[in-house]
Amino acid sequence: MRNKEEKRLQRVVALFCATLFALFSFLFVAVYQSPLLEVLYDYVATGKLDYNGYLVAAVISPLLTLLALWLNRIAKFQREWTAMAYLPSVLLLAFITDIDRSLYVGGWSSTSWIVIFSVAMFVYAALAFVLQRVLFEKIKNLAMSTNRMIWRNLILFVIMFCLAGTLSNGEENFKREALVASRYKGGDAEGALAVGYKSLDASRELTAMRAYILAKENSLGERLFEYPQLYGAEGLLPFAQQTSPLSSDTVATLLGDTIKENENTLDYLRRLAHADTLAVAARDYYLSALLLEKEVIEFEAELARMCGSYRADSLPKHYREALLLLKEFSSEYQLNLEDSVLNSKFRSMREVESKYDDALMRNNYVRKAFGRTYWWYFLYGG
């Protein structure tokens, strides 16, 4: 009777562990690390078929669960130690989602994973041996409630799940870049732009991806400075050697020509802007580059050259903001801007500035109220 109860209890615990791991691995692959796996898939399969994270998870999760169950036929983890049977599967889960920039630039090393697997499998085998030969013989006749066993296994799983999250790729900016690529590819431009929206440590790659999406949406002059700009004009373009889902060739296709060797971003965009045929995106990139370099006088001259006679009120928001700044600091420039809202907003910013003598406090208050304007970038950022 005692053996029957013990077997029934073990089946309940084994079912709980299998279900919990299967659920965790499914969500880990289908949701948490899906953008990284999609980036890997697109790089390897070159986009021949659409990536489906739920389908991939539906394959990986059962395979890893079955692997753990099969290994446990040898290791024989049971009772409150049943969760340990899933250690190899947890490590494999972390391994397949450890995707970083080495996917593009090379240099990935297997040494660390060889060490991790070797140490983990030694612990796995040693623990299985000790438990089988020593501990289980002593406790097999001791009564233990189902709840107590489940709670102890749950604690082990929490530790292992944290291990999976720690060992898989933890570079936040690369995850953001992968998520931006995934959302934009799925047709969600706004969702892509919202990734890392409030982050003040955006990578150059992420900054370039935002600029590319805004240009494709014809919103570069309207929204560029709503996002942190930490790299000046250089942040408009990805690195020549691909380090993220957005390649320099993709941007060059949009702009109409590739950048030359030893040519900086501003000179490259200036060359495109003076070419016989000028793409709209190249024009917006060039004007944005001038704003990013705070070349407001040249910006106004180039705007007039490329657009001829223009009405200031019809220009994108950041262009109007730049012209209003130019009017403020240059008595030679006359601006007929009927946008009363923008004029009022600019006066409000100047009033806020005048309230604080301390530079740091002034910077913080102006950023809080006007951080999404070109004015803040020109006066305090960059």
Identify whether 348 is part of a domain. no
283 and 270 part of one domain: yes
Domain assignment present for residue 11? The answer is: yes
Query: Are 35 and 165 within one domain?
Result: yes
- Residue 168's φ and ψ, nearest 5 degrees, are -75, 170
Asked which of 105-109, 200-204, 255-259 is least confident by mean pLDDT, the reply is: 105-109
137 and 73: one domain?
yes
pLDDT of residue 290: 96
143, 170, 197 - which closes a domain: 170
Report the domain count for the chain. 2
Say yes or no: 126 and 228 in one domain.
no
- In this structure, the answer to whether residues 48 and 113 fall within a common structural domain is yes
pLDDT in tens, 260-294: 988 999 999 999 988 877 788 999 999 999 999 99
Domain boundary among 275, 292, 309: 292
Residues 65 and 166 in one domain: yes
What's the CA gap between 379 and 382, in Å, rounded? 9
**Domain membership flag for residue 345:** no
Which residues span the domain enclosing 229?
172-292
Check whether residue 161 and residue 222 sit in a common domain.
no
Summary mean pLDDT of the chain: 86
Asked which of 85-99, 250-264, 295-309 is least confident by mean pLDDT, the reply is 295-309
Residue 181 sits in the same domain as residue 192: yes
Which range, 37-51, 213-227, 318-332, has the best average confidence (pLDDT)? Answer: 213-227
Per-residue burial over 314-334, b = 16 or more CB atoms within 10 Å of its CB, e = otherwise: ebbbbbbbbbbbbbeeeeeee
| Residue at which a domain ends, from 141, 170, 199 | 170
| 93 domain residue, yes or no | yes
98 and 238 within one domain: no
Note whether 23 and 74 are same-domain residues. yes
> Is residue 144's pLDDT more than 80?
no
Between 197 and 331, the more confident residue is 197
Task: Specify the pLDDT at position 254.
Answer: 93
Q: Is residue 252 part of a domain?
A: yes
